Structure 1
Amino acid sequence: MAAVLAGLTLTSCAGGPFSAPAAFEVDPVYLDPELSGSVEQLRPITDFCGDRPIKVALADGVGDNAFRKTARAEFEDEAAKCPNLEVLPYADGQNNPQKAISDIKALVALGVDALVVFPDAGPALIPTLREAFEAGVAVVPYTASPGGTPGVDYTTFVGHNTVTDGAKWAEWVCNALGPKGGNAIFLGGTPGNAQSLSEIHGIEDELATNPDCRNVTLLNDPGAPIDTGWNPAQTQRVVSGLLAKYPKIDAVITDSGDSSLGGIRAFLQAGRPLPVWTANDNNGFACAYVENKPKQPQFQIVAVTSRTWIIRLALRKAVAAAQDIPEPEPDIVNVPIVMNSLDPDLAPTCDPDLPASAVTSSQLSTDKLAEIYR
């Protein structure tokens, strides 16, 4: 992973169905060590509630997957710790950039003071975020950077280092496949989202610079995640098409344990051996491993935390800014691997009392996790 932060402009001339934008530059926020930190540096929201009653809101670009459902519950759980916060109605952009823009404008019209946004539409949202910020709203996009400039277009950006996530996954895949290598695919989320674009940069850089990866071939067009919408049903359709196209897929790199379940179903229905697989943690992903491993010894998995709890940090940043309280927590949190079938200390475990979509590394209680999916 040594070279993962070098050469940060990624270009693509490929014209295939999964082409990346003509040029994508990794957001420099991921490169600034002064913005990064660990989970040990995080603080309770009660340090930042303030005294003034304020309105808070969450605007999602798309809300129909396990990550967003869990993150929404974490947002509401965190807000409930401050008695002076009023939570405005949740906004689901339904994977429609124009609706996402309209949602943000509507929340501003409702008098929101602190707004957390998952900017699936990327840079297309910048004018709307800037308009809200200039109107006096504390605006904090999280997880997928929309670009733009903190302090000019919005208050700050909160997330985890998606570039190094990609590099971690690629490094693990190369070790899992061993010297023989093999063919790998990377499944991203919604079209054009910065999270998946940053992750594939880390993947490609690791594959290009790590000697252990010399025999691993990424089948994606250069710089282009294969879009799945982070939706299990869509992922199943996409992977079924890829299996028809490629007779040999040895590794699947994804950034979603939930959507991975659709991909695993596609392999099983096609009668193809399950490959080594990366994701973010998810109870169903762990259960799929436990269920299939006895019959498929080649099947191995790894997962970083799904970090749905980072939305809590985004809310704290937004509330502190709205209350004019200094907020010293890191903007970018380095997240750990929480599940690794090749490491006995991190062996995947299936919780039969939780639904498949449950994000087990969340900060919600077991009862609240189960309630989300009832």
Structure 2
Amino acid sequence: MTYSTIAKMLTVSAGAIIAGMGSVSIAKAAPPAWCGPKKATLALLDGYGGNSWRQVTTASGKQVVDLCPSITKYEYADGQGDTQKAISDIKGMAAKGIDALVVFGDAGPAVLPAITSVHKAGKVIVPYRVAVGGKEGKNYAKFIGSSFENDGVTWGKWIKSVLPKGGNVLFLSGPAGNSQGLDELKGLKSVLGAEYVFVNPEPFGVTNWDPALTQKVLTAEIAKNPKIDVIVSDFGPSLVGALAAFTKQGRSIPAIATSDGNSLGCFWQESQASNPDFKLFTVATGNDNVRLAVQWAVALATGGEKPTADIFEAPAYEDSVSGKPNAVQCRKDLPGAIYMSSELSPEDQAKAVGR
């Protein structure tokens, strides 16, 4: 058999195989319903993006964008905690032709004029999580909130289950007067009766969600209050460095109702045996709030189907008492600064925070 004959046979065989595959195709996953056919560009804008929570949130938002082939360009801007830069970022993204903007308005109503100008220019702009004031349809296309009051209710119900006769409650939140903390307190007080005494300054201990300030505030409260039965905090990982203040005074770490974080979960696993009162309950820390906001922005910009929800409700995540819906989680092989409740995989979170 000559070389040319063999070559001809191989060519015919390959053609037959390919022909036989004619009815078989490599199916691509259909885009989600909120991804419409119209091409558009999208930007995610943070008022402050300089911590691991924001880095994970940003990566989560990008993951959602990647599900929609109609989004032809994605950009990100970090306001770096500077209100003027955040305003400039919003205006700048619109000026360069971005069609849809998802905005974490850390500065609140201070960024509303910029948001309103972009909305009036015909862009799709969706602020989320932090209330910026204004009205939907007049100042922006849609506001995607988070039910912080629901978090307070969830925490309150758990506190009643572990302290049915009441007790002393220390509530810590972020900056003075922040709406998240006020809403959480409203939820707590809707569940907890007079037998639960709040020992913190009204309306909450101010920590700015900063671990160093949290340690300072918690140390002062421990010295001031010989009996603290439960700590409520809306950013659990910031507590970790401060909780040793209890053991230094020969006291057990009390029950904690908070949001989840890998560092907190690992700390509980290491500490609970020597701290008999240290029960832990968490709600999901809320990185996935951005997913709903991006879905809305994409739907409005591309002509997709609008999501049915417009408020993110963080589900309960860990309970050291019941183990439901999860026991306390810890991945010692990964950074402490990730959030096991996030839909983004722990490994992808580690990449997002640069570890």
**TM bucket normalised to smaller:** 0.7 to 0.9
2:347 is equivalent to residue 361 of structure 1: no
Which residue of structure 1 lines up, in the alignment, with residue 279 of structure 2? Answer: 300
Which residue of structure 1 lines up, in the alignment, with residue 205 of structure 2? Answer: 226
What are the ranges of 5 or more consecutive residues in structure 2 without an aligned counterpart?
Answer: 1-29
Alignment CA distance shift 1:341-1:92 (3 Å): same
The one-letter code of the counterpart of 1:126 is: L
More contact order relative to length (CA 8 Å, sep ≥ 6): 1
After the TM superposition, which parts of structure 1 deviate over 6 Å for at least 4 consecutive aligned residues?
Answer: none
Which residue of structure 2 lines up, in the alignment, with residue 100 of structure 1? Answer: 86
How far did 1:170 drift? Answer: 2.1
Cα distance in structure 1, aligned partners of 2:31 and 2:79: 25
Q: Whose radius of gyration is greater, 1 or 2?
A: 2
| Structure 2 length-normalised TM | 0.82
RMSD: 2.3
| Structure 1 length-normalised TM | 0.79
Identity between Structure 1 and Structure 2 (%): 36
Are the aligned partners of 2:50 and 2:80 in contact in 1 as well (CA < 8 Å)?
Answer: no
2:268 is equivalent to residue 282 of structure 1: no
Cα distance in structure 2, aligned partners of 1:297 and 1:191: 33
Alignment CA distance shift 1:154-1:262 (3 Å): farther
Which residue of structure 2 lines up, in the alignment, with residue 21 of structure 1? Answer: none
Cα distance in structure 1, aligned partners of 2:105 and 2:228: 32
1:188-221: per-residue Cα shift (whole Å, max 9, x none)? 12444322221122123322xxxxx432111234
2:152 is equivalent to residue 172 of structure 1: no
2:143 is equivalent to residue 193 of structure 1: no
Are the aligned partners of 2:39 and 2:302 in contact in 1 as well (CA < 8 Å)?
Answer: no
Cα distance in structure 2, aligned partners of 1:216 and 1:47: 46
Cα distance in structure 2, aligned partners of 1:111 and 1:268: 56
- Structure 2 counterparts to residues 184-333 of structure 1, below 5 A: 184-207=169-192, 213-222=193-202, 224-268=203-247, 271-333=250-312
Which residue of structure 2 lines up, in the alignment, with residue 9 of structure 1? Answer: none
Greater alpha carbon shift after TM alignment, 306-315 vs 224-233: 224-233
Alignment CA distance shift 1:130-1:289 (3 Å): same
Cα distance in structure 2, aligned partners of 1:225 and 1:136: 40
Alignment CA distance shift 1:205-1:99 (3 Å): farther
2:139 is equivalent to residue 139 of structure 1: no
Are the aligned partners of 1:261 and 1:288 in contact in 2 as well (CA < 8 Å)?
Answer: yes
Which residue of structure 2 lines up, in the alignment, with residue 158 of structure 1? Answer: 144
Secondary structure of the 2:243 match is helix
Secondary structure of the 2:275 match is coil
Are the aligned partners of 2:172 and 2:206 in contact in 1 as well (CA < 8 Å)?
Answer: yes
Are the aligned partners of 1:66 and 1:258 in contact in 2 as well (CA < 8 Å)?
Answer: no
Cα distance in structure 1, aligned partners of 2:94 and 2:306: 23
How far did 1:148 drift? Answer: 2.3
How far did 1:299 drift? Answer: 0.4
